[in-house]
A and B are shown apart, each in its own frame.
Chain A
Amino acid sequence: MPKITIDGKTAEVAKGTTVLQAAQALGIVIPRYCYHPSLSISGNCRMCLVEVEKSPKLLTACSTEAADGMVVRTDSDKVKAARRDVLEYLLINHPLDCPICDQAGECGLQDYYMEHSRAKSRFPQEDKVRRQKRRALGPHLVLDNERCILCTRCVRFCSEVTKTSELEVMERGDHSYIDLKQGKALDNGYTLNLADICPVGAWTSRDFRFKQRVWFLKRTPTVCLGCATGCLMEAHHNDGVLYRLVPRPNAETNTWLCDHGRMTYKAVRAGDRLAKGVIKNGLIELEPALREAAGRIDENHPAAAVLGSPWLSVEDNAALARLAKDAIKTENFCFDFPGAQGVKDGILINEDPAPNARGARLVKDAYGGIALEELRARIVDGRVKTVVTEARAAAFVRDAVKASGARLIVFATNRADIPPAAYATLPYACYFEVPGTFVNFQGLRRRAEPSVAAPEGVRPLWALVNRLAAYSGASLHLDSAADALKEIVFK
């Protein structure tokens, strides 16, 4: 294994390791634009130049393989001068519109300029090459060709990750710019990653544009509930409002996020967000809604059933299991969701659109219950007359409910999710508002952490379950989400 010395520190690295990676392992960060750990190496930006002993010229650290006995300096005067020059070069045609640029505050040009240059440009502002600005390309992105430094990260992402190859560098020299086919939209399901990996403000998100200055954003690590892949991500928010979701790259699951997952936060403040209960089609306050629901359940306990949901956290599913077992005292409960699970597009998106089928299975392991087929049969033959479940999970028994006219009581966050057959709907706090545990398709346990407060009067689902039980005269002693987990064994 080659031994390499960088700025006086020595490390032994695996063969094939680049100087940039070796430096990183030694805690030395070499500035870079075109290099991205998850994309092929391009070596075009020259920002990573370092001095290598016995080499007459500076070398690009991102594309130079570490060799045995190599002695590298990243802090010599020659390297510092090179960084200044590369920055001056990259900024020749840059519009410097930071005051109206979304990238400001997390921009590679700003950061490196402050760190490595601070020199005055010798190129007059008036002579800059002008390019197209504000090009809406596809449903999620805007491209500003003037800001682009032609690092080709976006080009490589589209050819290597999504393999859709929409983008290329057109023309050459200072005529060059990023473009795609005339009249085509950039819409490959993963486009918002371009706004993340673009080191400057060339690609920006249409959704996030001009909403917040990034330095005001607070960051909460959480998990995407857009499908069973359960990508790790970070929610960015300020003053109780969510603004965007970005990936938390990790070796197990994801480097990127899909566009669908990226937009899941929109439901939190959507126009159809439920803050009140719904009986048939009319809105009513939460307490009367709960009382009504409990009354219907109490009409006939043996004919009530509880169906868990792969869209709910393990905690909320466990609370529902307790409702069935300890309050309603029925055998009619089901936490059995097979769900085809596996990545369906070869990138991230899972065959199972629900995030927690495996978490629901843990609840089944702890509390038992009947199979989904059996529940459907009992609904159809009239043994079950009332079903309590979550709005999207109601689809699992839709045909049975339709056939028998059984009464449906659902928990929902948004009106659009409520099945037409629902008799009563109870609003609950989503997992951007309350914590929850989820188990992704790989069996990895993941936490959703709250980043914003629930709308006034909206409570966690386990707390609603606690109230329903109380109306039925039973106490479940659920004072927190964690209380519901007591009997669950995580593998």
Chain B
Amino acid sequence: MAFTLTDEFKQRAEKICARYPRRDAALIPLLLELQREAGYVAEEAMDALSGYLGLPYSRVKAVVTFYTMFNRVPAGKYHLQVCRNISCHMAGAPGLLAALRARLGIEEGETTKDGLFTLSAVECLGACGDAPVLQVNEDYFGRVTAEKLDVLLEDLKHGKYPSTR
């Protein structure tokens, strides 16, 4: 199915473009918009956006692949992103990751069959003071312990989105 940018999206996009001296500078914010809508940035979306901004497709693809924050395949309802950099590593990230793998029965980069959870290991989230850090969709959860993780997963499973602390 051909992918087209909706008029509604284009209206929002125009406002975002207007914030920058050059249209193509709005590339990252617009990619984030697309991801917010669909949960990921599809190949066809990159094509459509490159046409819309007058950028070569290869440029758009390069940016999408450069930033790990862009999902290139549909993610689950909750995208669990465990920081694996130095501070979090020392504060127990490997245990956190192992626990998630065991609890969800998936590896990094995979999504549970019910489509609820996607698991990823990511680089420093810039919140080292709260290590180990887990990002769920766009929210941070700091100082995550085994108990906190259990509570969090139960809440999410029951459709309850907890506050970030």
Contacts of A170 in B (CB 8 A): 61-62, 65-66
A166 close to B58 (CB less than 8 A): yes
Contact between A172 and B66, CB atoms less than 8 A apart: yes
Chain A residues within 8 Å of B65, by CB: 170-172
Q: What is the bound-complex CA distance between A172 and B61, given in angstroms? A: 12
Q: How far is B61's CA from A182's CA once the two chains are assembled, in angstroms?
A: 11
Q: Which chain A residues lie closer than 8 Å to B58 at the CB level? A: 165-168, 179-181
Per-position contact with B for A152-188: 1 when CB-CB < 8 Å, else 0? 0000000100000111111110000001111000000
Closest Cβ of chain A: how far from B120's Cβ, in Å? 14
- Binary interface encoding of chain B residues 89-102 relative to chain A, with 1 for a CB under 8 A from any of its CBs, else 0: 00000000000000
Tell me the minimal C-beta distance from A456 to chain B in angstroms: 50
> Is the contact region of chain B dominated by helix, strand, or loop, or is it mixed?
helix
When distances are taken between beta carbons in the complex, the residues of chain B under 8 Å from A180 are 58
A182 contacts across to B, CB distance below 8 A: 43
**Residue among B43, B59, B61, B62 with the highest chain A CB neighbour number at 10 A:** B62
Query: Is B59 in contact with A165, judged by CB distance below 8 angstroms?
Result: yes
Check B9 for interface membership: any CB of A closer than 8 A. Answer: no
Cα(A396)–Cα(B96), bound, Å = 80
> Which residues of B from 54 to 68 have beta carbons under 8 Å from A?
56-59, 61-62, 65-66
Inter-chain CA distance A35–B148, complex, in Å, is: 53
> Which residues in chain B, 20-77, are within 8 Å of chain A measured between CB atoms?
43, 56-59, 61-62, 65-66
Cα-based distance from A172 to B69 in the complex (angstroms): 13
Docked Cα-Cα span, A91 to B62, in Å, equals 24
User: B56 contacts A159, CB within 8 Å?
Assistant: yes
Q: Find chain A residues with CB under 8 A from B61 CB.
A: 168, 170, 179, 181
Q: Are B62 and A169 in contact (CB under 8 A)?
A: yes
Q: Which residues of B contact A172 (CB under 8 A)?
A: 65-66
Q: Mark A398-423, 1 if CB is under 8 A from B, else 0.
A: 00000000000000000000000000
Residues in B with CB closer than 8 Å to A168 are: 56, 58-59, 61-62
Bound state CA distance, A182 and B56, in angstroms? 14
CB-CB < 8 A to B56: which residues of A? 159, 165-166, 168
Closest to A181 in B: B57
- Determine the distance from Cα of A332 to Cα of B65 in the docked complex, in whole angstroms: 68
CB of B57 within 8 A of CB of A171, answer: no
Residues on B with beta carbons closer than 8 Å to the beta carbon of A159:
56
Identify the closest chain B residue to A172 (Cβ).
Answer: B66
Tell me, in angstroms, the Cα distance from A167 to B56 when the chains sit together: 9
Give bound CA distance, A409 to B20, whole Å.
68
B59 touches A171 (CB 8 A): no
Which residues of the partner chain B approach A179 to less than 8 Å between Cβ atoms? 58, 61
Distance in angstroms between the alpha carbons of A170 and B65 in the assembled complex: 6
CA distance A159 to B59 in the complex (A): 10
What is the bound-complex CA distance between A170 and B70, given in angstroms? 13
Centre residue among B43, B58, B61 by max chain A CB count within 10 A:
B58
Q: Digit string of A468-481 for contact with B (CB within 8 Å is 1, else 0)? A: 00000000000000
Task: List chain B residues, Cβ under 8 A from A181.
Answer: 57-58, 61
**B43 close to A171 (CB less than 8 A):** no
Which A residue sits closest to B55, measured CB to CB?
A165
**Residue on A nearest B60 in the bound complex, by CB:** A168
Closest chain-B Cβ to A272's Cβ sits at a distance in Å of 39
When distances are taken between beta carbons in the complex, the residues of chain A under 8 Å from B59 are 165, 168
Residue among A159, A179, A181 with the most chain B CB within 10 A? A181
Least Cβ–Cβ distance between A402 and chain B, in angstroms: 47
CB distance from A57 to the nearest CB of B (A): 25
Chain A CB count within 10 A is highest, among B57, B61, B65, for: B65
What are the 4 A-B residue pairs with the smallest beta carbon separation, nearest first? A165-B56, A168-B58, A168-B62, A170-B65
If A167-B58, A168-B61, A179-B61 are given as contacts, then 18 extra A-B residue pairs at C-beta distance below 8 Å, sorted by A number, are A159-B56, A165-B56, A165-B58, A165-B59, A166-B56, A166-B58, A168-B58, A168-B59, A168-B62, A170-B62, A170-B65, A170-B66, A171-B65, A171-B66, A172-B65, A172-B66, A179-B58, A181-B57
Cross-chain pairs A/B with CB under 8 angstroms, 11 sampled: A165-B58, A166-B56, A166-B58, A167-B58, A168-B61, A168-B62, A170-B62, A170-B66, A171-B66, A180-B58, A181-B58
